[in-house]
A and B are shown apart, each in its own frame.
Chain A
Amino acid sequence: MMTRILATQIAFNWRRNLSAISGTVILLACLFMVAVGPSLVAQNPYDVMQLNLLDSYLPPVWLEGGNPNYLLGTDGQGRDVLAAVIYGTRISALIGLSATLLSCVIGTFLGLMAGYFGGWIDALIMRVADIQLSFPSMLIALFLMSAFGTGIDKILISLTAVGWVVYARTVRGSTLGERQREYVQAARVAGLRDAAIIWRHILPNVMTPLIVVATVQVGTFILIEASLSFLGVGVPVTQPSLGLLIKNGFDVLFSGLWWTSLFPGLMIMAMVFGINLLGDFLRDELNPRLK
Chain B
Amino acid sequence: MTTEMQPLLRVRELRTWFHTFSGIVKAVNGVSFDLAAGEVMGLVGESGGGKSVVGYSLLGLIDPPGKIESGSILFDGEELANAPERRLREIRGREIAMIFQDPMTSLNPVHTVGRQMDEMLRLHTELDKKARRQRCVEMLESVGIARAEERLESYPHQFSGGMRQRVVIAIALLAKPRLIIADEPTTALDVTIQAQILRLMRREIRQQGASLILVTHDLAVVAEMVDKITVLYCGRVVETGPVRQVLEAPAHPYTRGLIDSIPDPAHRLPRLRQIPGTVPDIRALPKGCAFRARCSGAAAICSEVEPSLVARAEGQSAACHFPLVSGETA
A residues lining the B interface (CB < 8 Å)? 1-2, 119, 181-183, 185-193, 200-201, 204-205
Contact = CB atoms under 8 A, between A and B. Distances in A.
Nearest to A207: B110
A49 to B, nearest CB: 54
B123 A190 contact: yes
Contact of A182 (B91, B94, B101, B155): B101
Pairs of residues from A and B, 6 with the lowest C-beta to C-beta distance, nearest first: A191-B92, A182-B106, A191-B93, A190-B93, A189-B98, A204-B110
A187 B90 CA distance: 13
Contacts of B92: 188-191
B310 interface: no
Interface in B82-110: 89-94, 97-98, 100-102, 105-110
14 contacts: A1-B154, A182-B105, A183-B105, A183-B107, A189-B59, A189-B93, A190-B93, A190-B120, A191-B90, A191-B92, A192-B89, A200-B111, A200-B119, A204-B111
A186 B100 contact: yes
B124 interface: yes
Interface string B32-65: 0000000000000000000000000001010010
Query: Secondary structure at chain A's binding surface: helix, strand, loop or mixed?
Result: helix
B78 interface: no
Given A1-B154, A190-B119, A191-B123, A205 B108 contact: yes
A183 B109 CA distance: 9
Nearest to A185: B100
Contacts of A201: 108, 111
Interface of B: 59, 61, 64, 89-94, 97-98, 100-102, 105-111, 119-120, 123-124, 153-155, 157-158, 168, 171
A7 to B, nearest CB: 15
Contacts of A204: 108, 110-111
B154 A183 contact: no
Which of B107, B108, B157, B168 neighbours the largest number of chain A CB atoms within 10 Å of its CB?
B108
A191 B105 contact: no
A192 B91 CA distance: 11
Given A186-B98, A191-B93, A181 B105 contact: yes
Contact of B106 (A1, A185, A193, A200): A185
A59 B109 CA distance: 60
A191 B98 CA distance: 11
Contacts of B61: 185, 188-189
Contacts of A2: 155, 157
Contacts of A192: 89, 119, 123
A234 to B, nearest CB: 40
Contact of A183 (B97, B106, B157): B106
Nearest to A2: B155
Given A181-B105, A185-B61, A191 B124 contact: yes
Nearest to B181: A189
Contacts of B111: 200-201, 204
Given A182-B100, A183-B109, A191-B89, 18 more contacts: A1-B155, A182-B105, A186-B100, A186-B168, A189-B59, A190-B97, A190-B120, A190-B123, A191-B90, A191-B91, A191-B92, A191-B93, A191-B123, A192-B119, A200-B119, A204-B110, A205-B108, A205-B109
Contacts of A187: 108
A189 B124 CA distance: 12
A171 to B, nearest CB: 15
A85 to B, nearest CB: 42
A119 to B, nearest CB: 8
Contacts of B97: 189-190
A119 B64 CA distance: 10
A193 B124 CA distance: 13
A186 B99 CA distance: 8
A120 B221 CA distance: 44
Contacts of A188: 61, 92
A102 B312 CA distance: 69
